[in-house]
Amino acid sequence: MSSDQPDRPAERALTTSVSGGVIAASQTASGPPVLILHGGPGWSDYTASLAAELEDAFCVIRFQQRGLEPSTTSGPFAIAVLDAAGADRAYVIGHSWGGHLAMHLAARHQDRLLGLVVVDPLGAVPDGGLSDLGRILAERMSPEQAAQAQELQERSQAGEATIEDALAGLALIWPGYFAAPDKAPPMPPLRLSPECFEGTFASIRTHFEHKTLERSLPALTIPAVFVLGAASPIPPQHGVASAALIPGARYIIEADCGHFPWLERPGIVRRALDGIQAASPSG
C-alpha cells in the first residue's frame, strides 16, 4: 500500500524536545497506540508500508531515530516520543536493529508497554546473529560484489566512508535480505548515517559484553511474540534464543521468508499484533 492512498488515515506530525535537540515523529489519529521502531541503525525510517497494515485499527506512532535529521544525533528517545503522542502505554513493534532496541526498551520501561512484537531482530544473545548476517549476505552476492561490499564496510569502520559509499554498500547487499534475492523488491529511498551506524554498534557490543538483555529480559511480564523469517540472513535460531529469555514469549518462523516479513508475507506482523492485543490485560 503506498503512502499516498486516499483511504489512509491522516498522519499528524509531532516534534518533541530532548537533550541536544528534537525528535521528529508522527501519529495517526485513533485506536490503541502502537510504536514502530525501524532498523538500521543510522537508517531513515522505512516502515510506512508496515504502518499501512495497522492504521485501520491502531494509532500508529513512528519517529526518525537519532542520527539523521530532522531528529537530533544522539540519545535514545522512544519514551519521549510516547510522551509527545500522549500515549501512557503502547504496543511496540521493532524490526531488525529496531527489534533489538525494542527489547532494551521493554527491559527498562516495561511499565510503558502493553506488549512486544519483535520482527526478525538482531538477537539478545551475543552476538545476536551479526557474524551469521555478514557471512550469509556475502554468500548471496557474487564474489565481485562481496569484495566491493567488504571494501566499503572497512572504509565505514575506519570512519572514511561517505554517504554515497554507505548507500552503494547497502544496494549491494539489499537483495540478500530476502528469501529469493533475484525477486527482491527495489530498495526504498533511504538516508544513512555511517557515524551513527558505527557508534551504535559500538554500544551494542558493549551491551553484549555485559549481557544486559540476557540479565534483564527474564523479568518481563508483558506479552511478546517474535516474527522470524526462515530464510533471513539473521538465522531464526537467534530470535528463538531471544524469545526463550522472556517468560511466555512465542515465536513464529515463516517459511520462504527473509528479513522483511511484512513485505514478503503481508499481514503476518498485523496478525502477530492482533494476537498480542488479545493476550494483553487491556486487550
Is the domain of 116 the same as that of 145?
A: no
The answer on pLDDT for 170 being more than 50 is yes
Is the domain of 176 the same as that of 83?
A: no
Is the domain of 141 the same as that of 19?
A: no
Is the domain of 84 the same as that of 103?
A: yes
Q: What is the DSSP string of 127-180?
A: TTTHHHHHHHHHHTS-HHHHHHHHHHHHHHHTT---HHHHHHHHHHHGGGGSSS
The answer on pLDDT for 198 being more than 90 is no
- Is 4 part of a structural domain of the chain? no
Q: Which domain holds residue 226?
A: 11-129+195-279
247-268 pLDDT, tens digit per residue, is 999 999 999 999 999 999 999 9
The percentage of the chain sitting over the pLDDT mark of 90, rounded to a whole number, equals 64
Is the domain of 46 the same as that of 183?
A: no
Is the domain of 140 the same as that of 29?
A: no
- Is 3 part of a structural domain of the chain? no
Listed in order, strand segments (DSSP E) in 70-134 are 90-95, 113-119
- Is 1 part of a structural domain of the chain? no
Report the number of distinct structural domains present in the chain: 2
77-100 pLDDT, tens digit per residue, is 677 888 888 889 999 999 999 999
Q: Write down which residue in 160, 191, 222 finishes a domain.
A: 191
Q: Which residue has the higher pLDDT, 100 or 7?
A: 100
- Is 261 part of a structural domain of the chain? yes
In this predicted structure, what is the pLDDT of residue 86? 86
Calculate mean pLDDT across residues 236-240: 98
Beta partners for 170?
Answer: none
Is the domain of 111 the same as that of 231?
A: yes
- Is 25 part of a structural domain of the chain? yes
